[in-house]
């Protein structure tokens, strides 16, 4: 027994259709050309991103298969026509509609864009008058539409029926497990689609034959109540979104690992201009934690925001002042402008507000650091000279150092003690007296074939400053150098010559030397 579908309020259907149409209209408010996304108070949604890419309206193919066998009673058939009309009214003009009727044979009623619901539904026969019900032939027609040239990436087959599969004699689809049905499954699996599904619309409570037949070919098949048929475009919205995101991935491939580049230029004394430039075509970027580093080190004054937004291909500029550069002349007594090479570096993190919105369908990658060039920048800086106070202090330090060196030198090189040095040979009884004076004396003694070098030296240790002075004697005789010391009133043997200090002796000098490194006059051959 054939029962009619539940009574539905035409007013309720109009409200539902109006709501679905409003959703479709909102999605259709996109611009076709890609544009830079506007600033969002809230994080962007996938719809915002798709709209900015011009990908918010992806067409779909709808193949509607309407049972026109004689088992369809007049009330049920008329309700099916109304549901199909409501479905087509909610489609986008870019969607494709293929309307077929099937009974003993499959007949195309309309093939084209979803533009005029009344005209499309008007192509259906006024009453169902067919004989058999051939589900296999109807599904074959749907697969043929899905595989045509230019088919959409999202597709749906809608099967409206009230009975079970009852193909006519001679149909290849009599046996559900036969080769014809296996061929349909293979053809469906080979279709290149982002998404494809089936919707079975039983017009009677126990009319599950259409569902079983459609699911055997299209596993992604669901059953919907005839009253829900106008909601079908909404069911496909998620599938359309996946297809749009796939298209977005292809459109954004050129921006993979895109990022932010930095340029520098000198704009005055101690001043630079930083230019940040986005090198992406579609993806907006965000820079956070931006900081400037210099080599040589300098104090950086810059008004850098904590967050910097960059639209695709956009650039932003910031002025920077450097403090503490010496110009390489820190001790000049004056200040002047010079040029100095400064190596500049940037630290910061680059992200995109699109990354979270597109996950997990798309993993959008950007270059995480700002790219800056290593070449040094020639900057005009003020070489600030030393202050007067610094000059005075440096002068005092220099005088003190010179005084300490002079004291040290005088302490290490004292005047020789008063008195005479007498020189005699072991094999000769004559003695040669030499009065001592100054800090150092040099002389020659031809009679002894000797050269004499005398200088004072204090005793080492604690008595170094005020201790007694000894006489250091260097004697060069017969080509050999010998050095020794003699204390006041003492004597020493050096190279066969006896040197004796006589503190109180004031013997007349037969030869004298010049003080402080001056060569002495040659001594005469006078002896005591």
pLDDT on residue 465: 59
What lies within 8 Å, CB to CB, of 512 at 6+ separation is 434, 435, 437, 441, 443, 520, 521, 523
The residue among 222, 220, 155 whose CA lies nearest residue 194 is: 155
Q: Which two tokens stand for residue 198?
A: 């089936």
Task: Give the burial string for 331-354 (b: 16+ CB within 10 Å, else e).
Answer: eeeeeeebebebebebebebebbb
pLDDT on residue 333: 53
Which single residue is written with the structure tokens 């990658």? 365
Query: How many CB atoms are closer than 10 A to CB 521?
Result: 14
Are the C-beta atoms of 427 and 416 separated by less than 8 Å? no
Q: Which two tokens stand for residue 46?
A: 């996938």
Q: Which two tokens stand for residue 352?
A: 């995109």
The three state secondary structure string of 461-516 is: CHHHCCCCEEEEEEEEECCEEEEEEECCCCEEEECCEEEEEECCCCCCCCCCCCCC
Q: Which two tokens stand for residue 303?
A: 């008004």
pLDDT on residue 516: 41
pLDDT on residue 63: 96
Classify the C-alpha dihedral 505-511-515-516 as positive or negative: negative
Distance CA 125, CA 136 (A): 21
Distance CA 442, CA 444 (A): 7
Judging by beta carbons within 10 Å of its beta carbon (0-12, 13-18, 19+), is residue 11 exposed, middle or buried? Answer: exposed
pLDDT on residue 35: 41
Distance CA 200, CA 162 (A): 10
Q: Which mean pLDDT values do the consecutive 10-residue runs of the chain (528 residues) have?
A: 38 43 38 40 83 81 92 77 88 92 94 93 89 93 95 91 86 92 94 86 78 91 79 69 76 89 84 91 93 82 90 93 63 58 85 90 89 72 58 84 85 83 84 87 88 83 65 90 89 89 61 41 43
**Nearest-10 Cα torsion for 68, 73, 79, 80:** -20
pLDDT on residue 411: 75
The three state secondary structure string of 34-97 is: CCCCCCCCCCCCHHHHHHHCCCCCCCEEEEEEEECECCCCHHHHHHHHHHHHHHHHCCCCCCEE
Q: What is the largest CA-CA distance in the chain?
A: 168
Question: Could you give the 3-state DSSP secondary structure of residue 204?
Answer: coil
């Amino acid at each position: 027994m054939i029962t009619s579908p539940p009574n539905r309020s035409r007013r309720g259907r109009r409200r539902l259709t109006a709501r679905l149409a409003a959703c479709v209209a909102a999605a259709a408010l996109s611009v076709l050309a890609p544009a830079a996304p506007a600033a969002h108070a809230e994080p962007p949604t996938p719809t915002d991103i798709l709209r900015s890419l011009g990908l918010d309206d992806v067409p779909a193919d709808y193949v509607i298969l309407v049972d026109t066998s004689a088992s369809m009673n007049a009330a049920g058939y008329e309700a099916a026509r109304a549901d199909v009309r409501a479905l087509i009214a909610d489609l986008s003009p870019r969607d494709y509609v293929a309307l077929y009727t099937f009974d003993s044979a499959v007949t195309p009623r309309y093939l084209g864009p979803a533009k005029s619901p009344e005209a499309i539904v008007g192509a259906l026969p006024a009453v169902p008058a067919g004989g058999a019900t051939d589900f296999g032939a109807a599904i074959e027609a749907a697969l043929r539409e899905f595989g045509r040239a230019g088919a959409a990436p999202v597709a749906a087959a809608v099967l409206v029926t009230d009975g079970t599969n009852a193909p006519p004699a001679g149909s290849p689809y009599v046996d559900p497990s036969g080769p014809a049905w296996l061929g349909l499954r293979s053809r469906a699996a080979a279709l290149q689609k982002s998404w494809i599904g089936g919707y079975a619309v039983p017009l009677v409570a126990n009319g599950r034959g259409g569902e079983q037949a459609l699911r055997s070919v299209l596993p992604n098949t669901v059953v919907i109540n005839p009253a829900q048929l106008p909601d079908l475009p909404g069911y496909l919205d998620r599938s359309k979104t996946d297809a749009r995101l796939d298209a977005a991935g292809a459109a954004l491939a050129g921006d993979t690992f895109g990022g932010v580049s930095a340029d520098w230029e000198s704009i005055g004394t101690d001043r630079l201009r930083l230019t940040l430039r986005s090198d992406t075509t579609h993806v907006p970027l965000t820079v956070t934690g931006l900081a400037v580093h210099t080599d040589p080190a300098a104090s950086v004054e810059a008004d850098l925001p904590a967050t910097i937004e960059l639209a695709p291909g956009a650039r932003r500029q910031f002025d920077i002042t450097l403090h503490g550069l010496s110009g390489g002349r820190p001790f000049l007594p004056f200040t002047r402008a010079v040029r100095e090479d400064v190596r500049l570096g940037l630290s910061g993190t680059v992200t995109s507000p699109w990354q979270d919105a597109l996950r997990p369908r798309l993993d959008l990658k950007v270059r995480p650091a700002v790219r800056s060039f290593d070449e040094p920048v020639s900057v005009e800086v003020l070489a600030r000279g030393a202050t007067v106070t610094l000059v005075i202090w440096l002068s005092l330090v220099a005088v003190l150092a010179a005084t300490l060196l002079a004291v040290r030198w005088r302490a290490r090189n004292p005047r020789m003690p008063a008195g005479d040095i007498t020189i005699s040979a072991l094999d000769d009884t004559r003695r040669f007296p030499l009065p001592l004076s100054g800090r150092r004396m040099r002389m020659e003694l031809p009679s002894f074939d000797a050269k004499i070098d005398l200088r004072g030296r204090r005793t080492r240790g604690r008595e170094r400053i005020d201790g007694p002075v000894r006489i250091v004697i260097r004697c060069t005789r017969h080509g050999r150098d010998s050095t020794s010391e003699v204390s006041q009133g003492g004597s020493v043997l050096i190279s066969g010559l006896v040197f004796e200090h006589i503190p109180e002796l004031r013997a007349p000098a037969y030869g004298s030397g010049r003080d402080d490194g001056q060569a002495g006059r040659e001594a005469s051959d006078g002896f005591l």
